[in-house]
Amino acid sequence: MPRRTFLSTAMAGVGFVAAGLSSWPSQLLALTKAGAEGLVDQLVADINQVIATNKSEASKIRDFEQIFSRYADTAIMARYVLGADVRTASPAQLRAFTDAFEKYIANKYGRRFREFIGGTVTVTDSRQIKAGYEVKAIAKLKGEAPFGVSFLVSDKSGRGKFYNLFIEGVNMLLTERTEIGAIMDQNGGSIDKTTAALKR
């Protein structure tokens, strides 16, 4: 009966994978099963490299942010988490929001780097989905039962980038849409104030 708390597994996993995916190489256009495995192996090596450096946490998060903005499809992610509110946003507002969202994600998940020390992610399977590919993997963190992770990758941005992930069924984008929706509500539905709130 005592299940591992859902929050711990799910959230630790989200952080680990978000951190890792940020270093996803860009040549995903012709993704094959073997290619996908290689990519994830590569990304795990990259995360471990970031973790292993002696930089301060703040500087690691800055690194992470750069990697994230390069390898995550933040434009589509930002649009998704805004949901219906995207309709009222001007292009400039959307750009500012996307920028703030990028930093917010990098900071939120990057701060938990230390939980991922010694962790491994192993690709088990991949399949084509509507927008691109789903790459399934098993993550093993220290002191955790192994758990499943799915990476959703698309080249609709013009380059292979990840746009969502699932940790034990928890959809990162859906979860963040709930959170961004709450911040919007607290700010009277103002996208400018929400953008400002994300920067804090």
Partner 1 sequence: MHLWLSRLAALPAATVITLTAACTVPSEEHRASGEVFDPYENVNRKVHAFNIGVDKVIYRPAAKGYVFILPDEIRTSIGYFADNMSKPTDVVDFLAQGRIKEAVITVGRFLMNTTIGFGGLADPATEFGIPDLDTDFGEVLYTWGFDEGAYIELPFFGPSTERDSVGLAVDVFTNPLGYLEYGSNFQNLRYGSYILDRLNDRGTYSETIDTVLYESADSYAQARIIFLQNRRFELAGEGGDPYVDAYADPYADPYEDAYADPYADPYADIFDDPEATADRF
Give min distance, CB of 77 to partner 1, in A: 7
Distance from C-alpha of 98 to C-alpha of 90, rounded to nearest angstrom: 12
Q: Is 72 in the site for partner 1 (CB under 8 A)?
A: no
Residue (27 or 157) nearer to partner 1, CB: 157
Contact characters 149-168, partner 1, x per CB under 8 A: ---x-x-xxx----xx-x-x
Shortest distance in whole angstroms from residue 76 CB to partner 1: 5
Can you tell me the distance from the alpha carbon of 25 to that of 22, in angstroms, rounded to the nearest whole number?
Answer: 9
The type of residue at 78 is: A
Closest CA to 40 of 16, 64, 60, 23: 23
The full length of the chain comes to 200
Identified binder of partner 1 from the candidate list 95, 103, 140, 193, rule CB under 8 A: 95
Q: Which H helix or E strand runs over 77?
A: helix 74-82
Among 115, 119, 126, 149, binds partner 1 (CB under 8 A): 115
- Span near partner 1 by CB under 8 A; candidates 9-17, 31-39, 45-53, 54-62: 9-17
Residues 18-57 that bind partner 1 (CB under 8 A): none
Of the candidate residues 33, 129, 146, 196, the single one contacting partner 1 (CB under 8 A): 129
Side by side, which strands form the sheet with 161-167?
Answer: 120-129, 132-140, 147-154, 161-167, 170-171
Whole-number Å distance between alpha carbons of 18 and 151: 9
Q: Select the span of 21-29, 42-50, 61-69, 176-184 touching partner 1 (CB under 8 A).
A: 176-184
The DSSP secondary structure of 19-72, one letter per residue, reads HHHTT--S--TT--HHHHHHHHHHHHHHHHHHHHS---HHHHHHHHHHHHHHHB
- The verdict on 6 binding partner 1 (CB under 8 A) reads yes
- Residue from 103, 108, 140, 193 in contact with partner 1 (CB under 8 A): 108
Task: Annotate 136-180 with DSSP letters as a single string.
Answer: EEEEE-TTS--EEEEEEEE-TTSS-EEEEEEETTEEHHHHHHHHH
79 belongs to the binding site for partner 1 (CB under 8 A)? yes
Residues within the interface to partner 1 (CB under 8 A)? 1-12, 15, 75-77, 79-80, 83-84, 86-87, 91, 94-95, 108, 111-112, 115, 129-131, 134, 143, 145, 152, 154, 156-158, 163-164, 166, 168-171, 173-175, 178-179, 181-183, 185-186, 197
